[in-house]
Chains A and B, each alone.
Chain A
Amino acid sequence: MKNRLRSFRAERHWTQADLAERLGVSRQTIYAIENERYDPSLPLAFEMARLFGTTIEGLFVYEAPSR
């Protein structure tokens, strides 16, 4: 799933480790989400949206698989 996590993080001049600490996850998790290798759980997605003052839709872009 595409996301704007990296740009939201860059706007605040946070490192991946800073964001990981604020969310209570490992830096690897932030790395994996930013590189679209891992889709976070719904609670973590809500936490991220709340932290950046946006909505889940503002942070993540869902693209339905082509049929």
Chain B
Amino acid sequence: MPQRIPVQDAAADFKRGLKLRSLLIRAGYIASILVSLAQLRSGTLTEQQLIVWVLVPIPFLVLGAWEWGRFERAADELQREIVRDANSVAFRWTLVTLCVLLLAERAFTLPWVVALPAGLPPLTLTWEGSLLVGLLVWAMAFARAHRRRVGG
């Protein structure tokens, strides 16, 4: 029978895990991408403004990658194993999911292959959609790997 983690310990672990700087970088990263995408889609920007909005999220991307590296260097062997498990599962399942979506997109966007039901918008796999699929699969793989090793 696995021993349960006392609530106080779990809360302390959670608080330790929530590093303010990491959180700020992640929030800034997500916000900058969302704002940047919204601006780029507005269709009202000049060429110079387009370039600026393309460049805005890049510092956050670089900071995010640096933070990730820092986390991996500071992690102990169990944490590394959980991330390794998650990466391995997520890579395979992201490929499978994207291939299925790609095939579905091809099937529904080529009218002579499968007739699209009337009134439905065409199914299109965008860059953002692909990225979200990857992130979602990785998050699920991480949760699975963590549950397997640590429980809860």
Q: Which residues from chain A sit less than 8 Å from chain B, CB to CB?
A: 6, 16-17, 24-29, 31-32, 34-35, 37-38, 40-41, 44
Selected contact of A32 from candidates B9, B13, B149, CB within 8 Å: B149
Flag B64-95 by CB within 8 Å of A: 1 or 0 each. Answer: 00000000000011110100000000000000
- B2 on interface, CB distance cutoff 8 Å: yes
Cβ contact within 8 Å between A35 and B2: yes
Cβ contact within 8 Å between B5 and A31: yes
Flag B1-25 by CB within 8 Å of A: 1 or 0 each. Answer: 0110100010001000000000000
Q: Contacts of B2 on A, CB cut-off 8 Å?
A: 35, 37
Given the known inter-chain contacts A32-B149, A37-B150, please indicate yes or no for A24 contacting B3, CB distance below 8 A. Answer: no
User: How many Å lie between the Cα of A31 and that of B149 in the bound state?
Assistant: 9
| Shortest Cβ gap from A12 to chain B (Å) | 17
Looking at chain B's contact residues, is the secondary structure mostly helix, strand, loop, or mixed?
Answer: helix
Looking at chain A's contact residues, is the secondary structure mostly helix, strand, loop, or mixed?
Answer: helix
User: How many Å lie between the Cα of A6 and that of B5 in the bound state?
Assistant: 14
User: How many Å lie between the Cα of A50 and that of B51 in the bound state?
Assistant: 59
User: How many Å lie between the Cα of A16 and that of B75 in the bound state?
Assistant: 17
Q: Contacts of A24 on B, CB cut-off 8 Å?
A: 76
- B41 on interface, CB distance cutoff 8 Å: no
Cβ contact within 8 Å between A32 and B3: no
Cβ contact within 8 Å between A27 and B77: no
User: How many Å lie between the Cα of A21 and that of B139 in the bound state?
Assistant: 29
